[in-house]
Amino acid sequence: MSDEGLAVIDNEAAHQFEVHVDGLLARLMYERAGGRLILIHTEVPDALAGRGIGSVLARAALDDARVRQLRVVPRCPFVRSYIARHPEYRSLVTGHPAPGS
């Protein structure tokens, strides 16, 4: 996956979405279980802060969940705030009604 010039890799063996920038690793850790994508924790090194990398990771994970038809459990506070700012992803969240229902 790629967004804003950043390549996001789904490292399934490590259970994380990854972006490598300037020799540093930013990641969003997850678990997949029972038709759900549980988003656990986002880590962006301080040297990469403020560049939108966390948002790129969140968007990639949520888009992946949509393609795979997985329900999302956003345990990560950053991902929860991202979803709050991007209502197009709210219908993916477990327990959240679909728009218009």
Extents of the domains making up the chain: 2-92
3-state secondary structure of 99: coil
Give the pLDDT confidence score for residue 4 in this predicted structure: 57
Right CATH for 2-92 from 3.20.190.10, 3.40.630.30, 3.20.20.70, 3.40.1640.10? 3.40.630.30
Question: Is the distance from CB of 42 to CB of 78 less than 8 angstroms?
Answer: yes
Length of the chain: 101
Give the pLDDT confidence score for residue 62 in this predicted structure: 98
What is the pTM (predicted TM-score) of this model? 0.88
- DSSP state string for 51-97: SSHHHHHHHHHHHHHHHHT-EEEE-SHHHHHHHHH-GGGGGGBTTPP
Give residue-wise pLDDT tens across range 11-68.
999 999 999 999 999 999 999 999 999 999 999 999 999 999 999 999 999 999 999 9
